[in-house]
């Protein structure tokens, strides 16, 4: 190969300088391989001890992120071409720095508005984030959580209802609850322009649950609602029509601490949840509940980053080209025995087991990574402890086609073992 190239360049050298340059370049590109890369960049946010939830404001270049430790809402502007964060502005939310801004979720019923929670003020806010980076978010509706509920943490809108996991034991009953109310009539009752109107929740429900509720999702085939409960390591099922609830405890032998949960469609249909482990670390385990209401567990196999992964959060990573896939986020939040890592998994043909596992170790270990959010072409991760937003970008390739160094297939594992 080299000899052939040398011979060719000697031939062209004989033809004179003018011919050498273009021909030599053409020779080089014929032998070159495009360099594919994964770029992980950290974007520094205002200093805070707890950087929590974030969501993109649909159809805009803004991401809203909550810093719970000082109740600040950070509005982040993304470059429309690269999705890279380029600027931020911070806005205090609630009465004071102790209001505990936490949940952030886009409203579908009220396009352009976002749901937020003030955990310490026991309120849900429906907020207009404003059109520009500098414009102050305006609270257009406030919903008080009814007594004895206490401490809305994460917030979600599902169909006509808003849902919030009440993370703090009730001062009246000592009990934890999941809150839900019909919010489909907020336009009709008061014009949207009337800013910060406290509205009474219609058809409010408080479902008693275990310690303590985090993510709340709907299983698409049955319409049943599922709720992760972290400390008591169980998943609650709610039939909204009958009001019946049931508990599905996580078997301790697979792991513990159910936190992240998503609803997925297509081949992944159902709800998927992650187990964040405990002070001794995680077990690299996540689970699925489909139309049959049965929990099925999946395990990561790679000993370096996978088998001790403490999986806090999850997102759909499916693509048309790559098929069904998930992003899993391992965190050092509960144990420094577990890595901060972003992991992409694919499945075998019948979704019975994990096929490929791709690992992206986060740049700052012990950052206590918190949430993962895929954008159109990149993936954002919030780092709780280091007030950072990390962004993963694939260059000259797409997620899931990263071979062979980082995507360890089942075949590779057994070949190496043999
Ligand atoms: C925030 O407001 C609450 C209620 O008014 C008060 O109890 C608390 O001390 C205030 N916290 C700070 C940091 O000002
Ligand atoms: C509320 O009003 C806005 C603006 O007119 C509209 O886009 C939205 O669909 C309405 N939502 C509901 C639930 O009625
Ligand atoms: C909105 O109104 C509620 C109830 O009147 C009040 O508690 C809250 O402080 C107000 N929030 C803002 C941002 O004005
Ligand atoms: C929910 O409860 C209703 C009313 O009892 C019942 O008709 C329906 O089948 C239940 N849904 C599921 C998925 O079990
Ligand atoms: C932590 O979780 C592991 C795996 O489920 C379990 O074996 C261990 O007993 C747990 N430790 C504590 C202190 O709960
Ligand atoms: C998937 O299911 C089909 C039909 O039950 C079966 O023929 C096939 O062997 C299964 N494939 C795998 C990889 O389990
Ligand atoms: C992985 O390979 C082993 C041995 O060939 C096989 O028994 C197992 O079913 C495979 N698992 C998956 C998920 O493909």
**Which residues belong to CATH 2.130.10.10 in the chain?**
41-209, 217-361
Atom index in ligand 4 nearest the CA of residue 293 equals 13
Question: Mutation test of ligand 3: which of 136, 138, 196 has the most ligand atoms closer than 8 Å to its C-beta?
Answer: 196
Residues 6+ apart with CB under 8 A from 338: 277, 281, 282, 308, 309, 310, 330, 331, 332
Instruction: Please check whether residue 255 is in contact with residue 334, taking contact to mean a CB–CB distance below 8 angstroms.
Output: no
Closest CA to ligand 2's atom 10: 110
Give residue 19's pLDDT: 41
Which sign does the torsion angle of CA 395, 401, 403, 407 carry?
positive
Closest CA to ligand 1's atom 7: 98
Give residue 193's pLDDT: 60
Atom index in ligand 5 nearest the CA of residue 278 equals 1
Q: Return the HEC string of 392-412.
A: EEEECCCCCCCCCCCEECHHH
Of all helices (H) and strands (E), which one includes residue 222?
Answer: none
Distance in angstroms (rounded) separating the CA atoms of residues 68 and 222: 34
Question: Mutation test of ligand 7: which of 299, 410, 415 has the most ligand atoms closer than 8 Å to its C-beta?
Answer: 410
Closest CA to ligand 2's atom 5: 187
Give 141 Cα–ligand 3 centroid separation in angstroms: 9
Separation in Å, CA 42 to CA 69, 182, 196: 20, 39, 35
Give residue 368's pLDDT: 96
* pLDDT tens series, the chain, 418 aa: 334 443 333 333 333 344 444 454 455 566 677 788 889 999 999 999 999 999 999 999 999 999 999 999 999 999 999 999 999 999 999 999 999 999 999 999 999 999 999 999 999 999 999 999 999 999 999 999 999 999 999 999 999 999 999 999 999 999 999 999 999 988 876 656 656 778 888 999 999 999 999 999 999 999 999 999 999 999 999 999 999 999 999 999 999 999 999 999 999 999 999 999 999 999 999 999 999 999 999 999 887 788 899 999 999 999 887 789 999 999 999 999 999 999 999 998 889 999 988 889 999 999 999 999 999 999 999 999 999 999 999 888 877 775 544 445 544 443 333 3
Decide which of 2.130.10.10, 3.30.70.2200, 2.120.10.30, 2.40.30.270 is the CATH code for 217-361: 2.130.10.10
Instruction: Please check whether residue 231 is in contact with residue 275, taking contact to mean a CB–CB distance below 8 angstroms.
Output: no
Distance in angstroms (rounded) separating the CA atoms of residues 418 and 402: 24
Atom index in ligand 3 nearest the CA of residue 123 equals 7
Instruction: Please check whether residue 258 is in contact with residue 269, taking contact to mean a CB–CB distance below 8 angstroms.
Output: no
Give 335 Cα–ligand 6 centroid separation in angstroms: 38
Give 115 Cα–ligand 2 centroid separation in angstroms: 15
Give 104 Cα–ligand 1 centroid separation in angstroms: 22
Atom index in ligand 4 nearest the CA of residue 222 equals 13
Atom index in ligand 2 nearest the CA of residue 188 equals 14
Q: Is 195 in the pocket of ligand 3 (CB under 6 A)?
A: no
Q: What pLDDT digit, counting tens, does each position of 22-51 carry?
A: 454 455 566 677 788 889 999 999 999 999
Instruction: Please check whether residue 341 is in contact with residue 305, taking contact to mean a CB–CB distance below 8 angstroms.
Output: yes
Tokens encoding 39 = 């770029």
Closest CA to ligand 3's atom 5: 198
Q: To which residue do tokens 């943490």 refer?
A: 153
Q: Is 348 in the pocket of ligand 7 (CB under 6 A)?
A: yes
Closest CA to ligand 3's atom 14: 196
For the beta carbon of residue 411, count every other beta carbon within 10 angstroms.
10
CA nearest to 392, candidates 359, 357, 366: 359
Give residue 397's pLDDT: 80
Give 97 Cα–ligand 1 centroid separation in angstroms: 8
Atom index in ligand 7 nearest the CA of residue 410 equals 1
Closest CA to ligand 4's atom 4: 242
For the beta carbon of residue 14, count every other beta carbon within 10 angstroms.
9
Question: Mutation test of ligand 3: which of 95, 96, 130, 139 has the most ligand atoms closer than 8 Å to its C-beta?
Answer: 139
Rounded to 5 degrees, what are φ and ψ at 69? -65, -25
CATH entry 1.10.150.130 includes domain 41-209 = no
Q: To which residue do tokens 């031939």 refer?
A: 11
Q: Is 191 in the pocket of ligand 7 (CB under 6 A)?
A: no
Q: Is 110 in the pocket of ligand 2 (CB under 6 A)?
A: yes
Ligand number nearest CA of 185 is 2
Tokens encoding 106 = 């886009």
Give 242 Cα–ligand 6 centroid separation in angstroms: 37
Give 113 Cα–ligand 1 centroid separation in angstroms: 28
């Amino acid at each position: 190969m080299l000899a052939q190239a040398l011979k060719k360049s000697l031939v062209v050298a004989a033809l004179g300088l003018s011919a050498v340059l273009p021909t030599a370049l053409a020779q080089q590109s014929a032998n070159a391989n495009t360099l594919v890369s994964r770029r992980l960049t950290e974007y520094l946010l205002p200093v805070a001890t707890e950087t929590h939830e974030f969501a993109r404001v649909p159809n805009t270049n803004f991401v809203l992120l909550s810093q719970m430790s000082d109740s600040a809402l950070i509005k982040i502007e993304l470059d429309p071409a690269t999705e890279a964060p380029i600027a931020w502005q911070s806005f205090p939310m609630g009465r004071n720095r102790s209001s505990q801004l936490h949940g952030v979720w886009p409203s579908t019923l009220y396009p352009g508005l976002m749901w937020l929670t003030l955990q310490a003020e026991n309120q849900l806010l429906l907020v207009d984030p404003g059109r520009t980076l500098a414009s102050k978010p305006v609270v257009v509706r406030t919903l008080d959580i009814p007594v004895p509920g206490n401490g809305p943490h994460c917030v979600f809108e599902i169909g006509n209802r808003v849902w919030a996991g009440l993370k703090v034991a009730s001062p009246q009953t000592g009990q934890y609850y999941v809150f839900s109310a019909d919010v489909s009539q907020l336009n009709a009752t008061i014009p949207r322009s009337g800013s910060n109107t406290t509205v009474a929740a219609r058809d409010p429900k408080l479902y008693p649950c275990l310690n303590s509720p985090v993510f709340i999702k709907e299983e698409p085939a049955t319409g049943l609602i599922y709720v992760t409960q972290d400390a008591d390591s169980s998943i609650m099922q709610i039939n909204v029509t009958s009001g019946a609830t049931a508990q599905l405890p996580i078997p301790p032998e697979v792991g513990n601490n159910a936190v992240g949960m998503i609803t997925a469609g297509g081949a992944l249909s159902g709800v998927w949840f992650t187990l964040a482990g405990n002070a001794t670390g995680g077990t690299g385990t996540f689970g699925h509940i489909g139309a049959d209401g049965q929990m099925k567990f999946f395990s990561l196999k790679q000993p370096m980053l996978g088998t001790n992964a403490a999986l806090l959060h999850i997102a759909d990573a499916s693509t048309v080209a790559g098929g069904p896939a998930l992003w899993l986020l391992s965190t050092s939040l509960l144990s420094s025995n577990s890595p901060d890592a972003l992991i992409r998994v694919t499945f075998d043909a019948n979704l019975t087991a994990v096929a490929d596992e791709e690992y992206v170790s986060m740049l700052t270990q012990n950052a206590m990574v918190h949430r993962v959010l895929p954008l159109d072409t990149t993936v954002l991760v919030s780092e709780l402890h280091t007030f950072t937003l990390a962004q993963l970008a694939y260059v000259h390739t797409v997620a899931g086609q990263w071979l062979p160094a980082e995507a360890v297939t089942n075949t590779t594992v057994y070949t190496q073992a043999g």
